[in-house]
Structure 1
Amino acid sequence: MSLNDSLGDCTAAGAGHVAQQINWYGQHQDAPVADSDVLAMYEAISGYQPGNASTDVGATLQDALKYWHTTGVGGNKIAAYAQIKATDLATIRACISLFGAVYTGMNFPASAMDQFNSGKPWTVVSRSRIEGGHCVPIGAYDASSFTCVTWGKTQKLSVDFFERYFDEVWTVLDLDWLTAQGVSPAAIDGAALNANYEALTGQPGPFPTVAPSPAPAPTPAPVPSDADAALVAAFKAWEAAKGFAA
């Protein structure tokens, strides 16, 4: 839950969920993010004061991303982030595939809570009132749906639902998505990421790179042994004796 059952801290909870996912799939490490880390992030980005319900007002995704980039949540920082058009489904799917997840904001309809509580996918229900904003990370997709993480569970949602209610999408680049060899699970190498990052921002890329493997040393020609030399000399003498020598 990351406290999101009692606080409006979905932006911080969502960051914690992404961090755990990236560590698991990128580094094969179970790296939980403590509730205290999520709370510290939420306090910093929203002004929330524990015990004062009037300060529990939520936070913007952009403020959460800035904190996540500069301070981190539970020891996990992102190296870069970029906004994607919420209508660009092809790029959204590509970013999920290449970088592990997208971090999203939505207008949450009342029908979605009923569907969540019933264990059903989120689908469009006409004339359902909007309860407020909600942040969820999306880490999987297929042709007709996406899968997000929220309130301690994975939750499927139809593409129609996404197109109706989601209006903010960010890709986040976490170095823990790269293996120790500098290659992501989708085989994107650090050198290529750095080149693209520098082209976009004018700043050096933050990603580790892998030094090219040195070319193998040429194999030297075998040196004839003494026995080989003696055999060759004997064969030449035999040729000469038989009149075969050139």
Structure 2
Amino acid sequence: MHAALPRAPSRLLPAWSRIVRTPRVLGHNDKVGDCVIVAGFNAVQTALARRGNFTSLPEDLPVRIYSSLTGYVPGDESTDNGTDPEMFLAWWKVNAIAGYRLGRFIRLNPADVDGIRNAVAGLGCYLCVELSTANEEQAVWRPDGFAGSWGGHAVWADEYEAADIGVCSWGGGYGIDGAYFAAPGFVSAAFALELEQA
């Protein structure tokens, strides 16, 4: 499914905030490359919070899914090679996470900040970014340095203010400067997700 969302929503608020008590999932992403799965778990946390459920999802489940999808063996760094996001999204269409399956995903133009904000104002936006080593020291990522020099990463975007987007990453909150989206190579993919209860 690669349909486009409307270019600009009919009425977009200047800011959209996540529900404050929504838990953030870390998984094992501070040690291994399960970020693709962790971003999906954070999407489910958003869906649950919007239904008034603030239960934290199990932190060990993303790495178990990562292992089953990629062959990652805990403790063996040679098997820690990350996950193709579309492979995970296809898996999620069949398998539920905390009672939610992926109904469909819509590929967005990663440079279209209005389209991404529109998705965030819906459920949220699944982003694949190519972090630079300069981003290591930034709480708000800017297009400094060379895209991808630190590596690829997946995050869940669930708030915005003006052109800046707020994301869940490594169990915490980070920001992405609006200029990051227009800079070549820093945002490699963006997906609006439609979840359905299993």
Task: Classify the TM-score, shorter chain.
Answer: 0.7 to 0.9
Residues of 2 paired with 1:43 and 1:128: CA distance?
27
Greater fraction strand: 2
What residue is the counterpart of 1:5 in the other structure?
A: 30
Q: Give % identity.
A: 19
Given residue 154 of structure 2, which amino acid in structure 1 is its aligned partner? C
Aligned with residue 143 of structure 1, among 162, 167, 171: 162
What residue is the counterpart of 2:124 in the other structure?
A: 101
Task: Give me the CA root mean square deviation.
Answer: 1.9
Larger radius of gyration: 1
Structure 1 residues 40 and 28 mapped into 2: Cα distance closer, same or farther (>3 Å)? same
What residue is the counterpart of 2:3 in the other structure?
A: none
What residue is the counterpart of 2:182 in the other structure?
A: 163
Question: Helix, strand or coil for the counterpart of 1:130?
Answer: coil
What residue is the counterpart of 1:209 in the other structure?
A: none
Deviations 1:126-158 (A, max 9, x none): 457711100001111122301010011111111
How far is 1:112 from its partner? 1.0
Contact map agreement 2:101 2:195 (CA 8 A) in 1:
yes
Residues of 1 paired with 2:133 and 2:147: CA distance?
6
Contact map agreement 2:113 2:163 (CA 8 A) in 1:
no
Tell me the TM-score normalised to structure 1 length. Answer: 0.65
Structure 1 residues 127 and 38 mapped into 2: Cα distance closer, same or farther (>3 Å)? closer
What residue is the counterpart of 2:70 in the other structure?
A: 46
What residue is the counterpart of 1:188 in the other structure?
A: none
Aligned with residue 89 of structure 1, among 100, 113, 135: 113
| 1:20 lines up with 2:45 in the alignment | yes
Contact map agreement 1:33 1:73 (CA 8 A) in 2:
no
Contact map agreement 2:140 2:176 (CA 8 A) in 1:
yes
Contact map agreement 2:133 2:145 (CA 8 A) in 1:
no
| 1:67 lines up with 2:86 in the alignment | no
Structure 1 residues 57 and 127 mapped into 2: Cα distance closer, same or farther (>3 Å)? closer
What residue is the counterpart of 2:4 in the other structure?
A: none
Greater fraction helix: 1
Residues of 1 paired with 2:145 and 2:40: CA distance?
31
Q: Using CA pairs under 8 Å that are at least 6 residues apart, name the structure with larger relative contact order, 1 or 2.
A: 2
Contact map agreement 2:134 2:145 (CA 8 A) in 1:
no
Deviations 1:78-121 (A, max 9, x none): 221121121222222212112x1111101111111111xxxx32
Contact map agreement 2:33 2:81 (CA 8 A) in 1:
yes
Query: Which runs of 4 or more aligned residues in structure 1 lie more than 6 Å from their structure 2 counterparts after TM superposition?
Result: none
Question: Helix, strand or coil for the counterpart of 2:101?
Answer: coil
Residues of 2 paired with 1:92 and 1:111: CA distance?
24
Contact map agreement 2:111 2:181 (CA 8 A) in 1:
no
